[in-house]
A and B are shown apart, each in its own frame.
Chain A
Amino acid sequence: MNTLDSRFVRLGDCFAHRFSAAGTFRYTLSVIPSAFGAHHHEGGNGPTVTVTPASGAPQATHYVTVSAGDGLIASPDRVTVSAGDLVVWSPDKSVTLGFRVRGRIEDQVVDSGSMRTESIYTHAFGSAGRYQWRDANGSPLKGEIRVTTPNDDHEAWLEHLKDGALVHVRGHQAEPKSVEITVGQTVVWAVEDAPGVTVTDVTLLPRDGKEDSDVGRH
């Protein structure tokens, strides 16, 4: 449902990447978070992002909608962008389990399940509470999101939803470590120079004996 886990991009989430260099990004869409599942389909007639050299035009954002039909389908499945543009993947209502974007452009791997650099994950929070998150791939990266219940001013709340909150991840540090938002608002994680990380609710991860110092969720 509204689970915080960048390994599965679900309704309310987005994954975005800035393609800085020219080339062709061939990728797969998968429900399986493991590396095996991603490699299985590479090299086929899958969706692509063709990155042309920078043209000097202002940065553009390109949107790809992922739907579930006979497998996961990217629409459009062929996108041509200029170097420096953003591509945003998001699911429609038919996608229930979530998806992972994984592919290669030249010698660079782009993977929503293991974000390295110039990658963005967004999540709109549907329920109030305290959410502690960390990297499911084992790095020390972690943080906290506090989601409050809005007051009764419904109109003001709807207007407030346009405001997002940014968490800038560099390596395995998150800044800020703690963010407070209202139910319905979106948090944006911008990942830079990281060792392949995820943003995952700690309640979804097995206990590893290391207790977080903060109080648990909700």
Chain B
Amino acid sequence: MATDIIAAIDQTAANTVLHAAESALGTLSKTGTGSLGPFIAGWKASASFTGGSVALEAPDTVSIDHLRVNYSLNLKLGIDLSFLDFCIPQVCIWTPWGTLCTPTICVTFPTISVTVPFSTSLDLSANFGILVKLTGGTWIVDVVIQSVPTLDLGAAATLLLTAIGAAISLALLAVPFIGPFLSIAAAVITAAFGIAEVTGLLGSILTLFVSGLTFKVWTHAQTFQVLPASPPFTPAVHVLVTSVTAGVRATTKNELVLSVDI
């Protein structure tokens, strides 16, 4: 059936449209809690998306290769150091007025809060489906990720583990009486979690951003203002967009086609 309006772009132009949609999405932010071994990790994260190479596949798939996910993470770990609690024994020392013996003083170590800022990026490749909807008087065409691909987090997890170790070491240095226990504390803490736990936490955070990832490639009011008003005698001209379909047409070129009836 003939359509009133057709707007079609080839794969080259589709890259331009998708990159613009990535910019328009801006930076997404989320917060949550996870765990690193026995430690609770609160986190705030933000992510934005850039680049990628678009391939169009009929009838309705947009494949994006090497989409860059730029993310920043702020982890807050609460580390209970009470396992280091100890007592300073009684000190007996000669003074001019007799031997003074101090009482035994027990030192309890606090739960320290360690903040770890971390930023890096990763590349992912995924298929996106095309979704057309009319919501609240607005037509929207989205490309929506079809499934979360495997995220290659090896290098990032290693860097994050290093950053966590450095932050913990710095936080420990500020704890009074920790000096003799630094190596013990560090050993216990680093034994509590390793690369697998960090990878798991990082993966769970990034999956929240990637799952359901949607780029809005077109949005328009259902009532389309064709021409604006020009007072005093010339009102605006509107048409009503009654239906919209979108898909990929494969002929000599693969093209993303928007079909609109007014």
Kindly identify which residue among A12, A90, A120, A157 contacts B95, using a CB–CB cutoff of 8 Å.
Answer: A120
Interface size on A, residues (CB 8 A): 44
Stretch at the interface among B19-27, B97-105, B240-248: B97-105
Chain B 92-127 interface residues, beta-carbon cutoff 8 Å to A? 92-98, 100-103, 105-108
Q: Specify the chain A residue showing the minimal Cβ separation from B173.
A: A127
**Chain B 62-78 interface 0/1 with A at a Cβ cutoff of 8 Å (1 = within):** 00000000000000000
B24 to chain A, nearest CB (A): 50
Give the CA-CA distance A65 to B103 in the complex, in Å. 10
Please tell me if the beta carbons of B95 and A163 are within 8 angstroms of each other in the complex. no
Kindly identify which residue among A14, A127, A152, A157 contacts B103, using a CB–CB cutoff of 8 Å.
Answer: A14
Is B218's beta carbon under 8 Å from chain A? Answer: no
Which residues of chain B are within 8 angstroms of A90 by Cβ–Cβ distance?
102-103, 105
Stretch at the interface among A130-138, A184-192, A198-206: A184-192
Chain B 73-92 interface residues, beta-carbon cutoff 8 Å to A? 86, 88-92
Interface size on B, residues (CB 8 A): 27
Question: Assuming A14-B103, A61-B101, is B95 touching A188 (CB within 8 A)?
Answer: yes
Which residues of chain B are within 8 angstroms of A188 by Cβ–Cβ distance?
91, 93, 95, 100, 102
Please tell me if the beta carbons of A190 and B97 are within 8 angstroms of each other in the complex. yes
Please tell me if the beta carbons of A168 and B96 are within 8 angstroms of each other in the complex. yes
Stretch at the interface among B38-46, B174-182, B197-205: B174-182
Kindly identify which residue among A14, A84, A126, A190 contacts B177, using a CB–CB cutoff of 8 Å.
Answer: A126
Is A1's beta carbon under 8 Å from chain B? Answer: yes
Please tell me if the beta carbons of A186 and B91 are within 8 angstroms of each other in the complex. yes
Is A172's beta carbon under 8 Å from chain B? Answer: no
Please tell me if the beta carbons of B103 and A190 are within 8 angstroms of each other in the complex. no
**Chain A 9-23 interface 0/1 with B at a Cβ cutoff of 8 Å (1 = within):** 001101010100000
Please tell me if the beta carbons of B100 and A61 are within 8 angstroms of each other in the complex. yes
Kindly identify which residue among A16, A158, A183 contacts B100, using a CB–CB cutoff of 8 Å.
Answer: A16
Is B184's beta carbon under 8 Å from chain A? Answer: yes
Please tell me if the beta carbons of A86 and B97 are within 8 angstroms of each other in the complex. yes
Please tell me if the beta carbons of B102 and A122 are within 8 angstroms of each other in the complex. yes
Question: Assuming A164-B93, A166-B94, A166-B95, is B100 touching A86 (CB within 8 A)?
Answer: yes
Which residues of chain B are within 8 angstroms of A2 by Cβ–Cβ distance?
176-177
Please tell me if the beta carbons of A118 and B100 are within 8 angstroms of each other in the complex. no
Is A88's beta carbon under 8 Å from chain B? Answer: yes
Which residues of chain A are within 8 angstroms of B94 by Cβ–Cβ distance?
166
Please tell me if the beta carbons of A127 and B179 are within 8 angstroms of each other in the complex. yes
Please tell me if the beta carbons of A154 and B180 are within 8 angstroms of each other in the complex. yes
Give the CA-CA distance A157 to B183 in the complex, in Å. 14
Kindly identify which residue among A124, A152, A190 contacts B105, using a CB–CB cutoff of 8 Å.
Answer: A124
Is A59's beta carbon under 8 Å from chain B? Answer: yes
Chain A 77-126 interface residues, beta-carbon cutoff 8 Å to B? 84, 86, 88, 90, 93, 118, 120, 122, 124, 126
Is A161's beta carbon under 8 Å from chain B? Answer: yes
Kindly identify which residue among A16, A128, A158, A164 contacts B179, using a CB–CB cutoff of 8 Å.
Answer: A128
Please tell me if the beta carbons of A93 and B88 are within 8 angstroms of each other in the complex. no
Is A178's beta carbon under 8 Å from chain B? Answer: no
Is A75's beta carbon under 8 Å from chain B? Answer: no
Give the CA-CA distance A12 to B105 in the complex, in Å. 6
**Chain B 155-196 interface 0/1 with A at a Cβ cutoff of 8 Å (1 = within):** 000000000000000000000111110011000000000000
Kindly identify which residue among A158, A163, A182, A190 contacts B96, using a CB–CB cutoff of 8 Å.
Answer: A190
Please tell me if the beta carbons of A184 and B102 are within 8 angstroms of each other in the complex. no
Is A34's beta carbon under 8 Å from chain B? Answer: no
Question: Assuming A158-B86, A162-B91, A190-B96, is B177 touching A88 (CB within 8 A)?
Answer: no
Question: Assuming A158-B86, A162-B90, is B108 touching A184 (CB within 8 A)?
Answer: no
Please tell me if the beta carbons of A183 and B180 are within 8 angstroms of each other in the complex. yes
Kindly identify which residue among B89, B98, B106, B179 contacts A86, using a CB–CB cutoff of 8 Å.
Answer: B98
Give the CA-CA distance A185 to B179 in the complex, in Å. 12
Kindly identify which residue among B88, B96, B183 contacts A124, using a CB–CB cutoff of 8 Å.
Answer: B88
Beyond the given A14-B103, A184-B179, could you list 16 further A-B residue pairs with CB under 8 A, ordered by the A residue number?
A: A11-B105, A61-B100, A86-B100, A93-B106, A124-B88, A126-B177, A127-B177, A162-B92, A164-B102, A183-B180, A184-B88, A186-B88, A188-B93, A188-B100, A190-B95, A192-B96
